[in-house]
């Protein structure tokens, strides 16, 4: 009877979260449509539709019945370990519910209201390279985010409380330790390889018809295991990948006719995310067992395909001849070594999203330092440029000419997404750890890739990462799969090995 009653109450709770998940999927379709096909004048109506969905989701998430069921069932579920499906669900639902319960509705509303205003001000400020336009909004968002951290509670740093939203269980100290391992190695590597390989420091400049680029991109993602019958590729200004639901995980990109590699690597990146989404267990859709672990793990999937596989020699041994066929005449004089050096060129530059594999994590580190200090109250928003530019000079030996190329370049802070940036570096770190583990598990990985056979990679990722949903937290999952605790060493080794290879032409 008591067991029966547990089952039926669990089912009731599961139904609530399945509805919430469907409403979120619907909302993502609305967002996707807004970025792809929505008519220009549809914006106001779309905002109201989206707000309605948000309030329906909020209502279901915060209902007293939801809370009651979570409390009771979490108490009763046994064993309390990741091997028990119901426990995993209740652990994650409780985490979401508890976080939410701690935040006063007024604070949540104020943050969301200020973020809308701040976003507009930020766009203007970036356009005019004038921080003063954005500063009052940023001050308010920092203040509200500090309040949010106080409400959520934390052990050592308020930044922990914010980080936890994007990377459950991660701490500021752990992130700091990873950076302390990584950053000096990257600085050394940068001074060694910057501008070392190629006179063509600006990428390709040919004529690559977009239709042909689409053919190549679809071929590549199909080989990677992205199911195009359960997805599609559309054109947008700011590329993203989105899960509408099982059987419907879409990606987007932006095409550059002069250099096909821009969209190509973008598509690989988004397809990495979308393959993860497609491979999450469908039978668990609507529960944490059908959800991705964290932003860091999600990013590890995109970076794995975009960089570790997509910018590797074996990958282009297979794809360069195909690309020559698809773009007749454009790549005739390009040999594999030249091509690899172009797509792996390293250069200190001001903009994060244009950065290479060596400098990318230095950009992230800088943001981590700055936003942590903001949230810990050690840095005032008005002093950001000084701090940013000083750190930049130290990391890249360059002077930031203006704030548009400095602290105003990223959208994140205008949405109060403090704690998001480190997940990019976690993604790169995890991806390199997974590469090491795959090399251990899969014989002759390189020679399979050279032949265009990627299914052993996709299968490994599906079997070791995707199939678990949120059964394990990121750190646990990484340790379970690789046998090692999160560490930047595999990333450092991978990068050193890669650039030694490029220097030697092997």
Site string for a copy of itself, 282-321 (x = CB under 8 A): ---x------------------------------------
Contact (CB, 8 A) for 415 and 408: no
CB closer to a copy of itself, 53 vs 334 = 53
10 Å Cβ neighbour count for 124?
A: 12
Question: Phi first, then psi: what are they for 233, rounded to 5°?
Answer: -120, 120
Distances (CA, A) of 169 to 79, 96, 124, 294: 21, 13, 36, 10
Q: Which residues contact 153 (CB under 8 A, 6 or more apart)?
A: 102, 161
Query: Which range in 91-99, 222-230, 317-325, 474-482 contacts a copy of itself by CB under 8 A?
Result: 222-230
Query: Is residue 35 close enough to count as binding a copy of itself by CB under 8 A?
Result: no
CB closer to a copy of itself, 19 vs 177 = 19
Residue 245 CB, shortest distance to a copy of itself, in Å, is 3
Euclidean distance between CA atoms 158 and 139, whole angstroms:
16
Please report, as residue ranges, which positions from 246 to 265 form the binding site for a copy of itself (by CB under 8 A): 246-248, 250
Residue 242 CB, shortest distance to a copy of itself, in Å, is 12
Number of residues that bind a copy of itself (CB under 8 A): 37
Mark out the alpha helices in 156-284 (DSSP H runs).
158-166, 172-193, 210-224, 260-279
Three-state DSSP class for residue 244:
strand
Euclidean distance between CA atoms 289 and 472, whole angstroms:
9
Residue in 107, 135, 230, 320 binding a copy of itself, rule: CB under 8 A: 230
Residue 63 CB, shortest distance to a copy of itself, in Å, is 14
Query: Is residue 245 close enough to count as binding a copy of itself by CB under 8 A?
Result: yes
Sign of CA dihedral 408, 414, 419, 422: negative
Q: Which residues contact 92 (CB under 8 A, 6 or more apart)?
A: 288, 291, 470
CB closer to a copy of itself, 140 vs 250 = 250
Residue in 52, 173, 196, 411 binding a copy of itself, rule: CB under 8 A: 52
DSSP for 421-470?
A: THHHHHHHHHHHHHHHHHHHHSTTHHHHHHTT--HHHHHHHHHHTGGGTT
Query: Which range in 201-209, 242-250, 407-415, 423-431 contacts a copy of itself by CB under 8 A?
Result: 242-250
Burial of 414 (0-12, 13-18, 19+ CB in 10 A): buried
Residue in 49, 112, 194, 487 binding a copy of itself, rule: CB under 8 A: 49
The pairing of strands 241-245 and 233-235 is: unpaired
Three-state DSSP class for residue 42:
helix
Three-state DSSP class for residue 233:
strand
Query: Which range in 36-44, 127-135, 200-208, 349-357 contacts a copy of itself by CB under 8 A?
Result: 36-44
Which of 270, 306, 357, 371 is catalytic? The answer is 270
Nearest partner of 225 among 181, 281, 166, 272, judged by Cα = 272
Query: Is residue 211 close enough to count as binding a copy of itself by CB under 8 A?
Result: no
CB closer to a copy of itself, 8 vs 40 = 40
Site string for a copy of itself, 2-31 (x = CB under 8 A): -----------------x--xx-xx--xx-
Query: Which range in 105-113, 195-203, 238-246, 376-384 contacts a copy of itself by CB under 8 A?
Result: 238-246
Residue in 227, 330, 337, 476 binding a copy of itself, rule: CB under 8 A: 227
Residue 49 CB, shortest distance to a copy of itself, in Å, is 5
Q: Which residues contact 439 (CB under 8 A, 6 or more apart)?
A: 445
Contact (CB, 8 A) for 236 and 37: no
Residue in 5, 7, 33, 257 binding a copy of itself, rule: CB under 8 A: 33
CB closer to a copy of itself, 168 vs 286 = 286
Residue 7 CB, shortest distance to a copy of itself, in Å, is 22
Query: Is residue 236 close enough to count as binding a copy of itself by CB under 8 A?
Result: no
Is 270 known to be catalytic? yes
Positions in the binding site for a copy of itself (CB under 8 A)? 19, 22-23, 25-26, 29-30, 33, 37-46, 48-49, 52-53, 56, 227-232, 234, 244-248, 250, 285
- Name the residues annotated as catalytic: 270
């Amino acid at each position: 009877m008591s067991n029966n009653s547990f089952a039926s109450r669990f089912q009731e709770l599961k139904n609530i979260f399945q509805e919430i998940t469907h409403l979120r999927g619907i909302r993502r379709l609305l967002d996707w449509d807004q970025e792809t096909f929505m008519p220009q004048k549809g914006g106001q109506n779309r905002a109201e539709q989206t707000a309605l969905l948000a309030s329906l989701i909020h209502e279901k998430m915060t209902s007293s019945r939801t809370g009651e069921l979570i409390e009771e069932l979490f108490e009763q579920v046994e064993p309390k370990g990741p091997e028990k499906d119901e426990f995993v669900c209740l652990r994650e639902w409780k985490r979401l519910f508890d976080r939410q319960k701690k935040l006063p509705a007024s604070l949540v509303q104020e943050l969301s209201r200020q973020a809308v205003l701040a976003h507009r001000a930020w766009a203007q400020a970036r356009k005019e390279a004038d921080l003063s336009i954005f500063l009052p909004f940023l001050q308010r968002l920092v203040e509200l985010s500090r309040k949010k951290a106080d409400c959520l509670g934390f052990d050592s740093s308020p930044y922990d409380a914010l980080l936890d939203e994007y990377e459950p269980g991660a701490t500021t100290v752990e992130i700091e330790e990873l950076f302390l391992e990584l950053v000096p190695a990257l600085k050394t590597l940068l001074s060694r390889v910057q501008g070392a390989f190629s006179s063509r420091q600006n990428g390709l400049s040919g004529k690559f018809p977009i239709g042909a680029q689409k053919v190549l991109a679809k071929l590549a993602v199909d080989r990677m295991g992205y199911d195009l019958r359960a997805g599609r590729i559309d054109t947008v200004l700011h590329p993203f990948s989105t899960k509408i639901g099982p059987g419907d995980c879409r990606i987007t990109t932006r095409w550059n006719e002069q250099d096909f590699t821009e969209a190509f690597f973008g598509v690989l990146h988004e397809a990495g995310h979308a393959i993860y989404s497609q491979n999450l267990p469908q039978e668990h859709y609507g529960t944490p067992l059908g959800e991705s672990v964290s932003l860091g793990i999600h990013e590890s999937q995109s970076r794995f395909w975009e960089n570790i596989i997509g910018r590797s020699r074996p990958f282009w041994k297979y794809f360069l001849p195909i690309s020559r066929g698809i773009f007749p005449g454009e790549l005739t004089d390009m040999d594999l070594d030249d091509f690899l050096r172009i797509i792996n060129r390293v250069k200190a530059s001001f903009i994060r999203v244009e950065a290479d594999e060596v400098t990318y994590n230095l950009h992230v580190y800088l943001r981590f330092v700055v936003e942590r200090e903001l949230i810990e109250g050690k840095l005032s928003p008005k002093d950001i440029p000084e701090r940013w530019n000083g750190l930049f000079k130290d990391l890249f030996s360059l002077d930031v000419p203006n704030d548009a190329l400095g602290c105003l370049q990223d959208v994140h802070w205008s949405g109060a997404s403090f704690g998001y940036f480190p997940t990019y570096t976690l993604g790169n770190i995890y991806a390199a750890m997974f590469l090491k583990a795959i090399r251990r598990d899969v014989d002759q990985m390189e020679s399979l890739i050279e032949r265009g056979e990627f299914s052993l990679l996709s299968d490994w990722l599906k079997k070791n990462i995707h199939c678990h949903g949120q059964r394990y937290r990121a750190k646990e999952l990484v340790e379970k799969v690789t046998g090692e605790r999160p560490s930047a060493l595999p990333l450092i080794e991978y990068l050193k090995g890669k650039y030694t290879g490029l220097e030697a032409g092997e």
